[in-house]
Every structure is written in structure tokens, then in C-alpha cells.
Amino acid sequence: MALSLLRTGTLAIMRQTPQTRLFAPLQLQRCTPYLLRLMSNKSSDPEKPVNVQLPKKKSNLAADKTPISWKNLGISVVVFGILLNVLWYLKKLRKEEIEKNKVLSIGKAAIGGDFELVDTSKKVVSNKDFAGKWVLIYFGFTHCPDICPEELEKMALVVDNIDKERSASVFQPLFISVDPERDTPELIAKYTADFHKRLMGLTGTVDQIKDVCKKYRIYYSAGPKEDGDYIVDHTIIMYLLNPKGEFQQYYGRNKTAAEITKDVLVRMAMYKE
């Protein structure tokens, strides 16, 4: 009921004022030439073209204003659409940025922490001793058959590469044992010397190793013993800590020495106190 009233109302207005055609549907717009012709029949000079016979004001309204307004309306719709899209996109970007920061802050809090271990001269060493230095840590054990030596050789290459670019005083490679029962400071000293003279080896009591591995999310588990010998299954990973001792990055077995070097150097260059 209300709709039909509205419709007839619109048509009535249309007949009275041509301007309202702006808002009329396109189909009604097509009636305009017919209406104009009807009006032109009453004029005195039938020779002249239809639109010229109309009063100038009306002609302007019919021929100029209407098409421009449709164009304007079209442009407005497009611009409005673009603006909406841009707004929506900006909102999405902001949301993503917030999500990203959330993940980063979670990562920061989850890996790392204070530790106290023993170095190869049986001196107690804690994370505070590495303050101001970038630290690259590998967790392993000296009786390791294949993976640890491969990873430590890779680490030795990284140390050589970084020492070429940076002072040795800002970068410290570490080896932390996951086999505290067998890996004595003497054994570790001999072992790390095989790989790099700058590689510092750390071990500790069973509890100390348990604590550091828990904080750095390192899984380790000694396999079955055979004549006292066994293999320790453990997480294969390298960690990079910044001069504040905070976790910066991890490098899995798939990363090459060149890739690790590049990443460490970039992080050193980008680091702000």
C-alpha cells in the first residue's frame, strides 16, 4: 500500500517538475523524448528540430543536466565503492599488524631465560656473562654419531664468516650438552676444540641441564644403554640471542652456513639498543 502510494506520488512529481527525473529509474527516463515531442507539436514552427523549439531553460534541463547527473551519480558510486574498499583494506592491514605483534611478543616470552652452567675450566658461567654479545647456541652431546658434528661444522663456518665482518668480542658461539652424565668439562674441551677454537662448551649438573633445556624448549632423551654407551635423541636446533640475552631467531638443520651468516649479520645491523 505504502509502496504503491510512493510510486504514484513519484510519477505525479515527475510530470510537474522535470528536475525530479534525476532520481527516476532509467526506464522512465526513456519517456523523455516522447514527452518532448508531444510538447513540440504545439509549437509554431514544425520545421525546426525538436529540442530547439523548447524553451531554453527546459532544454538545458532535459539535455544537459540529466545526463551529467547520471554520470555524477555513477562516479559517486564508484568513488564511494573505492573508499569503502580502501577503508576495509586499511582495517584489515591494521588487524594483521596487531596479530603479527601478538605472535612476536608470544615468541619472545616463550624461548630463553636465565641459566647457570659450567665451562670447560669448571668455572660457573651464567647468561649474564654474555651480556652485550650476540650468542649462537647449539645443543648436543659429545658421543653424537652424525648430526651434532655436522651441525657444529656448519656453526664453525658461520663463526669464520661473522668474524670476518664483526669483532670477535660481539659474537659468542656456544655448545651446551644435553648429556650431563657423560659430558665432563674435560671431554667437552676436547670435543669443541675439534670444531672451532672460539666455540665455548658448557655442561652442568643433571638439574642445570634440565633447567636450561626446559627454558630453551629442547627435548632430549637418552636411548637404551649398550655396554654403557648410548645415543641421546634431542632437538636439533641453533638459537641466536641478542646482546640482551633475548631470543632472536632459530636455525633448523635445513639452514646452510651462508643463510645463517646472512641472517645473523642482518639482525646485528638492524639491532637497536
Partner 1 sequence: MAVPDKERRQKCWDARDAYWKCLDDGSGERDQREDACKQLKQLLSDSCPPVWVKHFDRRYDYLKYKEKIEKHGYEQPHGVNSQM
Tell me the C-alpha distance between 243 and 248, whole Å: 10
Q: How far is the CB of 140 from partner 1 (least distance, A)?
A: 12
Residue 142 is a binding residue for partner 1 (CB under 8 A): yes
Q: How far is the CB of 209 from partner 1 (least distance, A)?
A: 17
User: Distances from the Cα of 148 to the Cαs of 52, 154, 261, in angstroms?
Assistant: 95, 10, 19
Beta strands in the chain, from DSSP E residues, in sequence order:
116-118, 124-126, 134-140, 171-177, 200-202, 220-222, 232-234, 238-241, 247-251
Identity of the amino acid at 185: P
Tell which one of 17, 207, 228, 254 touches partner 1 (CB under 8 A): 228
Tell me the C-alpha distance between 103 and 80, whole Å: 35
Binders of partner 1 among 72-111, rule CB under 8 A? none
Whose cell is 559517486? That residue is: 76
Residue 166 is a binding residue for partner 1 (CB under 8 A): no
148 assigned ligand-binding residue: yes
Q: Which is nearer to partner 1, 209 or 268 (CB)?
A: 209
Dihedral of CA atoms 146, 151, 157, 160 in degrees, nearest 10, equals -120
Tell which one of 114, 229, 246, 259 touches partner 1 (CB under 8 A): 229
Count of residues interacting with partner 1 (CB under 8 A): 16
Residue 37 is a binding residue for partner 1 (CB under 8 A): no
Tell which one of 10, 111, 116, 143 touches partner 1 (CB under 8 A): 143
Residues comprising the binding site for Cu cation?
A: 144, 148, 234
Which residues would be at the binding site for partner 1 (CB under 8 A)? 142-143, 145-146, 149, 187, 190-191, 194, 223, 226-231
